[in-house]
Chain A
Amino acid sequence: MRNTTASAMALLLALPVAAQAEIRLGASVSATGPAAFLGDPEAKTIEMMVEDINEAGGIDGEQIALTLYDDGGDPNKARTFATRLVEDDEVVAIIGGSTTGTTMSILDVAEDEGIPFISLAGAISIVDPVREYVFKTPHTDRMACEKIFSDMQAQGISRIGMISGTDGFGASMQAQCKDVAGDQGIEVLADETYGPQDADTTPQLTRIRNTDGVQAVLNAGFGQGPAIVTRNFAQLGFDIPLYQSHGVASNAFVELVGPEASQGVRLPGTALLIGDRLAEDDPQYQVVNDYTAAYRERYGQDPSTFAGYAHDAVALMVDAMRRADEIAPDAIRDALEATQGFVGTTGVYTFSPEDHLGLDPSDFRMLEITADGWKQID
């Protein structure tokens, strides 16, 4: 009740402000804390893009005023910041929620207050069931599983061993993969786990190797775990393929693992990873290479897949603002939902009232690490 009154007050106070030529955009990402490897490049991307858009004249002559908070990966802080964005900063749209946990906090506020929100987190529960004001840019881990399993089918692989991290990402993907495996004719014969900071996984991999009939190994996880699994995999001298998840789709992963041990690893990734190898007539060629060049020039490093999620969120939001009848939350939401064939770094987005993710497994590209970098194999 107090909240409603407060927001009604805020709305009244906001009316004269809206007359000024300024679009208030809010963001809350996990730039520090345990999810910093997600939130840090996301924050950099959001800041860079807003500045660039403003320099180029803003949206129909109106400048974007960005308010960016760092929630440190803490869902409670994310909720506080989301409320502050709506009530104090009076934003018309929110981007952020680096993790599923922080997204869930922001999502409640966005739904209650009727503010369009694009999440940067992976879980399918964010957009299923569809919520009126909530959209998201990353693929779900279920789609990653489907993509990996279709590649396995194409290779004639039907019996696999899984090794997953016990962190949120690994556990969620492990459950999703086991759930869809049967539908795609894949049998999971061995199912092992490791702690996110374990130094060695050779016992688990030895168990998988000693399981009869295993034709490939799938590692669900991100962070240091997959790097250690891949190194152990090479150490044990397996002669079957190793599949990794989209969680480690980055050049940093290849550097961590080393060129020899990483060779032959297959994973579903986005076009962002193979920007310089895309054909020039590829629909994503322009957007991927423009973004990579801008990011590299500004920060001296390559953008990660996660940074790409933030890029797509900002680009989608700005596109919706340009098409919206007026710069108001409901008009932006309607324009966002009407997005058709919008090309981002992650894929081509088409939203509808039934689909607030707008991607499908075909937006993933199956990649293999070779001696001279990433190679698309589908």
Chain B
Amino acid sequence: MDALLQFIFSGVTVGAVYALVALGFTIIYNASDVVNFAQGEFVMLGGMITVFAFEAGMPLPLAAVLAVLATAAIGVALNKLAIEPARGAPVVTLIIITIGASILIRGAAQLVFDKQLHRFPAFSGDDPIRILGATILPQSLWVIVGALVVFVGLWLFFTRTLTGKAVLATANNRVAAQLVGINTAWVMTLSFGLSAAIGALAGVLVTPITLVSYDVGVALALKGFAAAMLGGMGNPKGALAGGLLLGLLEALTAGYLSSQYKDAVAFIVILGVLFAMPQGLFGKSATERV
């Protein structure tokens, strides 16, 4: 019994990390249909900037805020310098541009920062919380709460605010959106800034658990992307559910079956789900006019 609970705690911790990364994908995807493969680098930047600001003597909360703002600025710059000039290009081209951007950011990070692993202290200490013989670290709760807060925020943004609806409208049909008075260039800038900020926040929350170095972005983006696909790309509900499901699958496989197969089982389930429901668990099937 305590073993099962431990596996669940582990799965929820890891799942919340995936969910936070997956949530970062949603905004840019909703604004432009582009899957931003530099999302993992935003997470890395959030962690790295916080580490270096903290080690330079800044209080941790201030360092975290600085990291989120700086990363958001980098996200905006990415849009202005790389995505906007190629606006007329097909989505696939834009996705390839984001892959290029991720390589550039990774390379710059190893020069600006360093190539070592880093960590900063957990927000509420490292004393594990014991529940029925199983343990969970306080930082895991921070990550879970962070994922929930971002989820609720995004859900409200897309369903309750005019700006959020403008973002969705831009993705749906850029010309029509412009015709009804939506400043689509601004929507793109906003969506890159917000996505980068969410990525950086994820980095700040998960670093005490996962550690950070200049190259952690790739693996995080891959798992986050898998989680987003599983839940349904572009849907915050899907990102949250997909992330948690992926984390739980991995933990339970590692716990009950074999740790050798945990990634394989997770990906087999993803393939199975996508085979039966190509839009993911919560994705809406697209109806496009031809």
Contact = CB atoms under 8 A, between A and B. Distances in A.
B213 interface: yes
Most chain-B Cβ atoms within 10 A of its Cβ — which of A34, A193, A252, A260?
A193
Contacts of B137: 235
Contacts of B14: 198-200
Contacts of B220: 197
Interface string A21-58: 00000000000101011001000000000000000000
Given A206-B7, A227-B211, A261 B126 contact: yes
B3 A210 contact: yes
A296 interface: no
A204 B256 CA distance: 9
B110 A256 contact: no
Nearest to B18: A199
A32 B110 contact: yes
A227 B6 contact: no
A298 interface: no
Contacts of A204: 254-255, 259
A252 B263 CA distance: 29
Interface string B1-30: 001001101110110010000000000000
A32 B111 CA distance: 10
Interface of B: 3, 6-7, 9-11, 13-14, 17, 110, 115-119, 121, 126, 128, 135, 137, 206, 209-211, 213, 215-216, 219-220, 251-252, 254-255, 259-260, 262-263
B12 to A, nearest CB: 10
Given A36-B115, A199-B210, 10 more contacts: A37-B117, A192-B254, A202-B10, A206-B255, A207-B259, A235-B126, A237-B128, A237-B135, A256-B117, A258-B121
Contacts of A200: 10, 13-14, 209, 251
A36 B206 contact: no
Interface string A119-134: 0000000000000000
A13 interface: no
Contacts of B13: 199-200
B51 to A, nearest CB: 11
A203 B259 contact: yes
Nearest to B140: A200
Contact of B10 (A203, A231, A256): A203
B259 A193 contact: yes
A14 interface: no
Nearest to B135: A235
Contacts of A210: 3
A175 interface: no
A193 B260 contact: yes
A199 B206 contact: yes
A223 interface: yes
A283 interface: no
A150 interface: no
Is the interface on chain A under 10, 10 to 19, 20 to 34, or 35 or more residues?
Answer: 35 or more
A309 interface: no
A236 B210 CA distance: 17
Given A224-B213, A260-B126, A199 B115 contact: no
Contact of A227 (B10, B117, B262): B117
B135 A236 contact: yes
B203 to A, nearest CB: 13
A375 B257 CA distance: 39
Contacts of A169: none
A234 B135 CA distance: 10
A171 to B, nearest CB: 11
Contacts of A255: 119
B52 to A, nearest CB: 14
A235 B128 CA distance: 6
A194 interface: yes
B9 A202 contact: yes
A36 B254 CA distance: 30
Contacts of B119: 227, 255-256
Interface in A203-229: 203-204, 206-207, 210, 223-224, 227-228
A195 interface: yes
A261 B125 CA distance: 12
B254 A203 contact: yes
A195 B263 contact: yes
B211 A36 contact: no
Contacts of A236: 6, 128, 135
Contacts of B7: 202-203, 206
Nearest to A261: B126
A202 B209 CA distance: 12
A223 B6 CA distance: 25
Nearest to A166: B260
A227 B137 CA distance: 15
A321 to B, nearest CB: 31
Nearest to B260: A193
Contacts of A40: 115
A227 B7 CA distance: 20
A202 B6 contact: yes
